[in-house]
Amino acid sequence: PCALLQTRMQSLQPDPKAQYRSVYEALKKIVLTEGLWRPLRGINVTVLGAGPAHAMYFACYEKMKKSLSDALQHGGNSHLANGIAGSVATLLHDAVMNPAEVVKQRMQMFNSPYTSVLSCVRTVQRTEGFGAFYRSYTTQLTMNVPFQAIHFITYEFMQEHINPLREYNPRSHIVSGAVAGAVAAAATTPLDVCKTLLNTQENTALSSLNISGHLSGMVNAFRTVYQLGGLGGFFKGVQARVIYQMPSTAIAWSVYEFFKYFLTKHRLEKRT
C-alpha cells in the first residue's frame, strides 16, 4: 500500500480526484473511492521480481564485502567496502526489478488503463517498445547506488554500536534495517521523484509543458520536475517513501540475517 501511496503522491500534476495532503488522507480516499484492494495493485509483479533480484543482491553483497574488507582493512569492517559492495549489488538487482517497477507504477497511477500485469506489459511493448521497461534504468541506478551505499553503511554502522559482537539478534537487525532504510530513503527522494516521472510518463504533467513524445534521461526529468514543482517538487511523497522503506528494509535484513545464521549453524553442525 505504501508503494502505491508513494507513486500517487509523487505525481507532479495529479487529477483533482487524486490530490492528497497527507499519507492518511491518501489511503482513506483511495480505499473509499477505488476499493479496499486498490492499494495492493501491482503487488504480484513486485513479488515475482523480488525473489531472484534479492537473491543476486545479497549474494553479490556478501562476496564483495568480504573480498574488499580483506583487501582494505585486513578482514575488519570497512565502511568503504560496504558501500562499494552495496553499489555493485544494485546493478544486478535493478536489472531485474526495473521492468517490474515500470509495470507496477503504471498500474498504480490514478485511472490506470491497465487491467492486469500481462495487459500492461503487452501494451507498453506494443506502443513504446522494449526500451520503455529500461527508460528509467540509468536514473534508477543513479538513485539506488547512493541509496544502497547509504543503506549498507548505515546498517553496518548501527550494528557496530548495538550489536558489536555481530551475533544473531533479531531486534538489532530490525532496528538497524529500519534506521538504514529511513536515512537512505529520505536522502534519495529527489531521484525517486524523477524515476517515477520517467516510469509513468505522466501525461498531464508533460502536456502542460508542451512536451510531446516520451520523456527520457535523468537531466530532462530533473528539469521537468523543477519546472512543475520547484524545489519542493523533488520531495513530493517523502513521508510515504520513508514509511514504505522502513518496514521493507527491516524485514529484508531480519529475514536475511535469520537464514544466514540458520545456514551457517547447519553447516557447522554437519562438519562436527
Spatial separation of the C-alpha atoms in residues 158 and 267, rounded to whole Å: 27
pLDDT tens per residue across span 74-110: 767 778 888 888 888 888 888 888 888 888 878 877 7
The length of the chain is 272
Mean pLDDT, to the nearest integer, of 37-54?
A: 70
74 Cβ neighbours under 8 A, 6+ residues apart:
none
Share of the chain above pLDDT 70, in %: 86
Tell me what pLDDT residue 78 has. 79
Tell me what pLDDT residue 1 has. 52
**Average pLDDT over all residues of the chain:** 81
pLDDT bracket for residue 250 (50, 70, 90) = very high
Tell me what pLDDT residue 184 has. 93
Spatial separation of the C-alpha atoms in residues 105 and 8, rounded to whole Å: 9
Q: Does residue 20 register a pLDDT over 70?
A: no
Q: Does residue 244 register a pLDDT over 80?
A: yes
Spatial separation of the C-alpha atoms in residues 68 and 74, rounded to whole Å: 9
Tell me what pLDDT residue 253 has. 92
Domain edges within the chain:
1-41
pLDDT tens per residue across span 190-239: 888 888 888 777 777 777 777 777 787 778 888 888 988 888 888 888 88
Judge if pTM exceeds 0.85: no
Tell me what pLDDT residue 43 has. 67
